[in-house]
Structure 1
Amino acid sequence: MTRFIEIRNGRVVTPSCVIEDGRVVIAGERIVRIDRAAPPSTRSETVVDADGRVVMPGLVDLHGDDIEEQFAPRSGAETDPTTALATADRMNVLHGVTTKFHALAFEESPEDGRNLENAARLARAVDRGAGALGDNRVHARCELADASADAVAALIEEVDVDLVSVMHHAPGGGQYDAESFERHYVEDRNWPAEAARSAAEERSGMDDASQGQRIDRIGELARRVGVPLASHDDKGRDDVETMAAHGAAISEYPLTLDAARRAKALGLATVMGAPNLVRGGSLWDNLSARKAIEAGVLDALCSDYHPASLLAAPFVDTGESLSTRVNRVTRNPADIAGLPDRGRIEVGARADLVIVDPSPTPTVERAFVAGSEVIRASAGSGAAPELPARSRTR
């Protein structure tokens, strides 16, 4: 028998407008009605009073690497992949993320726990989704300098890979010059200076032809499983054009306005980090998300390394409507990933919904995934959030 849930008295954010004192009715896993509040339906077993809070779609995060921090919180201190998933999953749902693409780095960085074997272990845990509240998916980030394509080729025989991206972290490529490359790996990732210098030399030694061959191989893997291919850290129009020629559909973190504009002109979707918008600029003095928005060249935001920023982002005043800002973290990334059934409050859409109190800082009070309530935090009670048990849905 279909179960009906009615969410009432909220500021309901649809793709095109905000319905004040709105109502959303869920039947099973789907949204079946959206309108202004009326007398409760006699069919609704559960009535949820949003009490003026914002009711919005669950966030869709195309790139978040926070699971890696849960897996290896310190160098040499690895946890179980299933535990890492459980922790990251709950942290993400508490920040409104109901569909998560875990960006797993397929690269050999033994100094900080990143290696091909660990990435595969995490991917298997994500694919199993044991005890997860949200919909967790694999985003395979392939480092050109390593045997990432071979590792991902083996992986896709046993797990679902939902997004593939190409990265090449090397001095002179992307966001790093020689100094910033060493600083990033030594200060941010705790590598010994000698190891950072050795990696810089090795990665800088790859010629254009070799890079092209490896990009082709990675692109073929994405085509084999029918998922989008993303570029990473495009510095200029030449980088975008190269990746577009290899079949990329997404430009992640374009470093310059010129790169973002070229990506849009070629039909690539553009994705940048929510922390960039929330903090007011790039950590590395690259293109700011706000400037990309003002130029009309930013399609979606992702959590990058900080899930709370993705929830905060639509409440940053950019001069746009709330619907437009919410679309950038819900509908747009869902469409980019080929998931048109979610990321929107529309009749027939999957009932991934969050009730958010935006003040003084955006917090999730209740969350629903495919029509099931998975988070309930009692506002002002001081009680810990309630985490109902739930099996994974895809």
Structure 2
Amino acid sequence: MSWVIEDGLTLAGENWTERGLSIAGEHIADTATRPRRLDAAGLLVLPGIVDIHGDAFERQIMPRPGVRFDVGLALRDTDRQLVGNGITTTFHGVTISWEPGLRSLDAARSFIRSLCALRPHLSCDTRLHLRWETFALDAVAEVTDWLSLEPSPILAFNDHTTGSVLKGTIARKIGQMAERSGLSREDYMALLDAVWARRDDVPGAIAELAAAAREKGNVLLAHDEASPEERARFRALGARSCEFPLNVETAAEARAGGEDVILGAPNVVRGGSHNGALDAREAVEAGHCTVLTSDYHYPSPLHAAFALADGDRDALAHYWPLVSTNAARAAGLPDRGSLTAGKRADLILVDMADGHHPEIVATMVAGRIVYARRALGELPVRARQMATPAMAAG
């Protein structure tokens, strides 16, 4: 199907244009043959959001500790949330841990089977972000096999075990982690002690999986890096982006090397990290963050970009790549993230009538409308455009 989106204000690169946007089949085009016309008067036309790291789907699987729902049902519900929040490509962060329960190896198997079966029927381009807990040594063989899945998963190294044992930044979460796993606090601590006893085997397992990821061409990330030295260590293993660094020094080391730094959009929306970690807004403004991701809250990428812009349309053009172009680059997806000819037609129409709460009016994935807030023939002319700096000053 072909489309021409007319009368909207379209973000092309970091510039706005009132020129119509043509779509032919799945891609942005210079022209379209016999297109359907879509009236976007008063709306912003933006590249779709690429969400490189999100685990909010876990709430659909287990909305309360010990209360589980079918994974297929959870994935379908999550899919509706994603496109309703302007996310056109997502990487579900499935944690593969030594814990029993929600983040166990068995749970990962079930999730991956369900996602592979359902993926062709989901509206959002839904992919895998394999968050391997580095002490889950018994999972190495299966994670290696999963690296060959199509589309290619992201692999991230996560070490929440060391912090738990050494009473680091996440030790205060032990009660929550025990509850999630279905164990008593005492049983969880006993299991943690047994896992910690195998710590000498962890570096070899990390090197083995990193080599497999390099060979297969997977994007490789390291989560919660705590120092420039740790960034350098994972860089040498092939992790070319820095995901959720714990301090400014580590983020600055990554940026000095021309690498992407990934932080959570909820951090911006809430006004700080709920873990007391690096402040994402400050990092963005200092040039220490290039990608914002949903983390645990799907509405946040949209709202973070608009919050950073603070009503300034040109500022929005500057910040939007944090959730589109830059995120696509970090995910190894050069075919999307901007509204230029030849790219995938992944885009959103946004109503800014309420200056503080942008509303997704429609979402298009690969040239197909997958979400519409209202009937397409009734797309409104009522939305206010964001102010230019001159307008704001006046």
TM-score range with shorter-chain normalisation? 0.7 to 0.9
Which moves more between the two structures, 45-54 or 190-199? 190-199
Corresponding residue SS for 1:356: strand
Deviation, 1:80, is: 2.5
Aligned residue for 1:113?
A: 102
Task: State the one-letter code of the partner of 2:358.
Answer: P
Q: Is the 8 A contact 1:13 1:323 kept in 2?
A: yes
Aligned residue for 1:255?
A: 246
Task: State the one-letter code of the partner of 2:374.
Answer: S
Task: State the one-letter code of the partner of 2:177.
Answer: Y
Q: Is the 8 A contact 2:24 2:32 kept in 1?
A: no
Q: Is the 8 A contact 2:363 2:371 kept in 1?
A: yes
CA distance in 1, matches of 2:125, 2:334: 15
CA distance in 2, matches of 1:218, 1:341: 27
Which moves more between the two structures, 281-290 or 71-80? 71-80
CA distance in 1, matches of 2:262, 2:373: 30
Q: Is the 8 A contact 1:6 1:44 kept in 2?
A: no
Q: Is the 8 A contact 1:263 1:269 kept in 2?
A: yes
Q: 1:58 to 1:175 in 2, by over 3 A?
A: farther
Aligned residue for 1:363?
A: 359
Q: Is the 8 A contact 2:65 2:179 kept in 1?
A: no
Task: State the one-letter code of the partner of 1:335.
Answer: R
**2:132 paired with 1:142:** yes
Out of 29, 33, 42, the residue aligned to residue 52 of structure 1 is 42
Q: Is the 8 A contact 1:30 1:350 kept in 2?
A: yes
CA distance in 2, matches of 1:275, 1:86: 23
Q: Is the 8 A contact 2:231 2:254 kept in 1?
A: yes
Percent of residue pairs bearing the same amino acid type: 31
Aligned residue for 2:27?
A: 30
CA distance in 1, matches of 2:245, 2:259: 11
Q: Is the 8 A contact 1:124 1:159 kept in 2?
A: no
Corresponding residue SS for 2:363: strand
Aligned residue for 2:121?
A: 131
Corresponding residue SS for 2:50: strand
CA distance in 2, matches of 1:308, 1:266: 31
| Correspondence list, 1:1-394, <5 A | 3-19=1-17, 21-33=18-30, 43-110=33-100, 112-128=101-117, 129-146=119-136, 147-156=138-147, 160-172=151-163, 176-177=168-169, 179-185=171-177, 192-207=184-199, 209-317=200-308, 321-360=315-354, 361-378=357-374
Deviation, 1:197, is: 2.6
CA distance in 2, matches of 1:359, 1:255: 37
CA distance in 2, matches of 1:30, 1:175: 50
Corresponding residue SS for 1:66: coil
Q: Is the 8 A contact 1:58 1:97 kept in 2?
A: yes
Q: Is the 8 A contact 2:15 2:317 kept in 1?
A: yes
Q: Per-residue CA shift, 1:59-85, capped at 9, x if unaligned?
A: 100001122222222333333322222
Task: State the one-letter code of the partner of 1:328.
Answer: L
Task: State the one-letter code of the partner of 1:295.
Answer: A
Gaps of at least 5 residues in structure 2 are 378-394
CA distance in 1, matches of 2:255, 2:217: 22
State TM-score, norm by structure 2. Answer: 0.86
Which moves more between the two structures, 149-158 or 186-195? 186-195
Which moves more between the two structures, 174-183 or 192-201? 174-183
Deviation, 1:169, is: 0.4
Q: Per-residue CA shift, 1:262-296, capped at 9, x if unaligned?
A: 12223432101100111111001110001211221
Give the helix-richer structure, 1 or 2: 2
Corresponding residue SS for 2:103: coil
Q: Is the 8 A contact 1:175 1:235 kept in 2?
A: no
CA distance in 2, matches of 1:78, 1:183: 19
Task: State the one-letter code of the partner of 2:185.
Answer: A
Deviation, 1:351, is: 0.4
Deviation, 1:153, is: 2.0
Corresponding residue SS for 2:235: helix
Q: Is the 8 A contact 1:249 1:267 kept in 2?
A: no
CA distance in 1, matches of 2:321, 2:178: 37
Q: Could you say what the CA RMSD is over the residues aligned between the two structures, in angstroms?
A: 2.6
